[in-house]
């Protein structure tokens, strides 16, 4: 441990194997950390296989993660990555401990990214968010269920701004609102969540249960005729 | 993050919406922290509505919390609170991040309470604990179930000291004991818990399951005739 | 809190009462912490009874724990322990807070072990690991289920090195592999886990559910005839 270096446990609750949920948490959290922070992020169905281990730099932040799409939200112009060699003695089932954490430590101590490995020119980039314009609106999907049962979709607020629309999910229309308190207890609502995406909730309740929806299910935005 | 300022994750397990459970944890924890500590506490069914955001001072400790009764245990003579303005850009569903945390940071940096907002003269104060004297004893309620299945009631030890009594819950008498080891494995017992309240437990077991009791259920203390 | 002293929450997920699971986590974690670290470890079915409270030293690390076998993995030549007196005002149900934590603080501040209490010459030592040679192989048991559903056994890698063997569990043979990616999704495998013990897993799945196995169940290693 580096004396004086604060370590924050950002999240240990990502559902097993759910790379997209991990990407969402990184994407909605990085800006609350100081420039120069090192994010160690592991959601790793491919641990111990030939998938690469990456150290990366984007927008003055550092990231250490498997090469499986977890860093997709950051793969713009400014993004660069190197491949961290996996030492022979690393446990084939715990790269977080034996590969990623030691690399994060080196970055936190000030080593340059390039010092950690050879450039990785084509890291795996997934369609992290894939809302689709349907002509009549937007077809999105639930990408995360939080511990309260709120359902976060992949429809960003930017696609909805200034528009007049209805939200359909699970075969019914969900009332639009600004926050939970705008509807009666037990009533479902759709709102722009704190991560900047369309969310479905139930006031004082669990939307996933009440609406019988889960990760992957479709949520439709329908433009209103004028 | 403030370099050198320890941040303690006191608890992230409060049941959703359960203000009284949150108040209990604060009430039984504050004294283990050094004077001047800042408690950031959020259980917030009313997030984004007109409920106020508070910063408060009591007994040389600072608190930041919604104005919904969460700070009720501290509302004595020494308590004073200010209303933190909610900035227009705050997410209506995540005041913990956008309103309360920034206020806690300012207090931790040494800003005065009064600098954070206008005085709040009538913060909401709930009956945090409401055991009722029945003549024959005390009628209390279960206010919290911990992760082991122990059931914490709102009957404080001070009401029981020096008294001779029986405890009834779920239609049966629960044996009194000093600690788990005083009864056989699997047996139910009533004891004074570590927070200073009457608790129901099952040795090496889960009292909530074994007794079919949950939060809100009645626990009766019956004075013994002499 | 000691300013500048990092506190790491190593684990809060030990199943209630499961001393062996706690011992496993300590045994597979200590070496990743710097020499001189103080481990405060509590799995305490006997809290408040006559079981002793221990402070101990082993291999330049310090430990504070109940005298119930939790420190068994470290009870070699170099191990020494003292009995911490339990103050009369300690809660009989929360020695972690009132007995163990204050002792850990004193050790972290540099007090000598001997200063904390009288020597404990015969601390309780459990058979932490009890794999048994059967002539035809090794009979081990599942000692821990992790959050992914992987099943960790008490068969150490050292007993298997250079050997040719099959693994039987739940009435079927489990394929041997080096890591999850070596088998098809949904297939069961047996491998040497990151703690150095034989583990059963299901790729992209939950082995405990898929194999209907739980803590305590037998796992057989069968030597192959040559």
For the stretch B137-177, pLDDT in tens is 999 999 999 988 999 999 999 999 999 999 999 999 999 99
pLDDT number for residue A71 = 97
ipTM: 0.85
Neighbours of chain A (3+ CB pairs under 8 A): B, C
- Residue A185 pLDDT exceeds 80: yes
CA dihedral sign of residues C196, C131, C55, C92: positive
Q: Tell me the sheet residues that pair with C161.
A: none
What's the CA gap between C134 and C168, in Å, rounded?
14
Residue of chain B whose alpha carbon sits nearest to that of A3: B4
Q: Between the CA of residue A204 and those of A168, A176, A193, B16, B91, what are the distances in Å? A: 21, 16, 16, 8, 18
Residue of chain B whose alpha carbon sits nearest to that of C89: B194
Nearest to B92 among A34, A178, A204 (CB): A178
- Residue C204 pLDDT exceeds 70: yes
Which residues in chain B land under pLDDT 50? 1
What's the CA gap between C67 and C121, in Å, rounded?
11
Quick one: average pLDDT of C58-81?
A: 96
Contact with chain C for residue A7, Cβ under 8 A: yes
Contacts of B147 in chain C (CB under 8 A): 16
What's the CA gap between C158 and A161, in Å, rounded?
62
- How many other β-carbons are positioned within 10 Å of the β-carbon of residue B112? 10
pLDDT number for residue C116 = 98
Nearest to C92 among B6, B8, B179 (CB): B179
Name the pairing type of β-strands C61-66 and C38-40.
parallel
Quick one: average pLDDT of A1-11?
A: 76
What's the CA gap between A154 and A160, in Å, rounded?
12
- Residue C45 pLDDT exceeds 50: yes
Neighbours of chain B (3+ CB pairs under 8 A): A, C
Contact with chain A for residue B92, Cβ under 8 A: yes
Q: Smallest CA–CA separation between B57 and chain A, in Å?
A: 27
Tell me the pTM. 0.88
In percent, the amount of chain C with pLDDT more than 90 equals: 82
Contacts of B33 in chain C (CB under 8 A): 1
Q: How confident is the model at residue A181 (pLDDT cuts 50, 70, 90)?
A: confident
In percent, the amount of chain B with pLDDT more than 70 equals: 98
Residue of chain B whose alpha carbon sits nearest to that of A28: B97
pLDDT number for residue A5 = 80
Quick one: average pLDDT of C123-147?
A: 92
Residue of chain B whose alpha carbon sits nearest to that of C50: B181
Contacts of C34 in chain A (CB under 8 A): 1
Quick one: average pLDDT of A100-125?
A: 96
Contact with chain A for residue C32, Cβ under 8 A: yes
- Residue C1 pLDDT exceeds 60: no
Residue of chain B whose alpha carbon sits nearest to that of A37: B1
Which helix or strand (DSSP H or E) is residue A205 part of? none
Q: How confident is the model at residue A45 (pLDDT cuts 50, 70, 90)?
A: confident
- Residue A34 pLDDT exceeds 80: yes
Contacts of B178 in chain C (CB under 8 A): 48, 92
- Taking only residues 175 to 194 of chain A, the set having a beta carbon closer than 8 angstroms to any beta carbon of chain B reads 178-182, 191, 193-194
- The contacts of residue B139 (CB under 8 Å, 6+ apart) are B131, B132, B218, B219, B220, B221
Stretch among B6-10, C69-73, C193-197 having the lowest mean pLDDT: B6-10
What's the burial of A199, exposed, middle or buried (CB within 10 Å: 0-12/13-18/19+)?
buried
Name the pairing type of β-strands B172-174 and B118-119.
unpaired
Asked whether the beta carbons of B148 and B202 are under 8 A apart, the reply is no
- Residue C4 pLDDT exceeds 80: no
CA angle A13, B213, B43 (to 5 degrees): 40
Contacts of A98 in chain C (CB under 8 A): 194
Better-scored residue on pLDDT, A13 or C31:
C31
Torsion of CA A14, A17, A20, A25, to 10 degrees: 20
- The contacts of residue C133 (CB under 8 Å, 6+ apart) are none
- Residue A4 pLDDT exceeds 70: no
C181 contacts A46? CB cut-off 8 A: yes
CA angle A6, A11, A14 (to 5 degrees): 155
Contact with chain C for residue B157, Cβ under 8 A: no
């Amino acid at each position: 441990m580096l004396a004086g270096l604060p370590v924050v446990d950002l999240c240990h609750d990502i559902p097993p194997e759910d790379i997209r949920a991990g990407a969402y948490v990184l994407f909605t959290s990085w800006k609350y950390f100081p420039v120069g922070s090192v994010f160690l992020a592991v959601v790793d169905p491919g641990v111990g296989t030939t998938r690469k281990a990456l150290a990366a730099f984007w927008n003055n932040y550092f990231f250490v993660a498997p090469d499986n799409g977890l860093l997709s939200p950051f793969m713009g112009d400014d993004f660069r990555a190197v491949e961290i060699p996996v030492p022979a003695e690393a446990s084939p089932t715990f790269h977080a401990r034996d590969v990623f954490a030691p690399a994060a430590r080196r970055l936190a101590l000030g080593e340059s990214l390039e010092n950690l490995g050879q450039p990785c020119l084509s890291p795996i980039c997934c369609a992290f968010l894939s809302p689709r314009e349907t002509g009549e609106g937007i077809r999105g999907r639930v990408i995360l269920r939080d511990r309260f049962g709120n359902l976060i979709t992949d429809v960003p607020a930017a696609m909805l701004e200034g528009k007049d629309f209805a939200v359909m999910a699970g075969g019914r229309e969900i009332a639009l609102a600004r926050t939970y308190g705008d509807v009666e207890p037990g009533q479902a609502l759709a709102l722009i969540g704190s991560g900047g995406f369309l969310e479905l909730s139930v006031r004082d309740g669990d939307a996933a249960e009440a609406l019988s929806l889960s990760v992957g299910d479709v949520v439709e935005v329908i433009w209103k005729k004028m």
